[in-house]
Copies of this chain bind each other. A is one copy, B any other.
Amino acid sequence: MTLRNKELSKNQKIVLDYIQKCKKPVKAYSILSNVNKKGLKAPPQVYRALDKLIEIGEVHKIESQNSYIACNSTCTSPQGTIFSICKSCDKTDEISDAKLFKFLSEVKDMNGLSLSGYNLELFGTCSNCKD
Contacts and interface: CB of A to CB of B under 8 A. Distances in A.
Interface of A: 63-64, 84-87, 93, 95, 97, 100, 103, 107, 110-127, 130
Contact of A113 (B103, B112, B126): B126
Contacts of A95: 110-111
Count the copies: 2
Given A100-B107, A107-B100, A113 B118 contact: no
Contacts of A117: 122-124
Main secondary structure on chain A at its contact with chain B? strand
B114 A124 contact: yes
A62 to B, nearest CB: 9
A110 B123 contact: no
Most chain B CB within a 10 A radius of its CB, from A100, A119, A126: A119
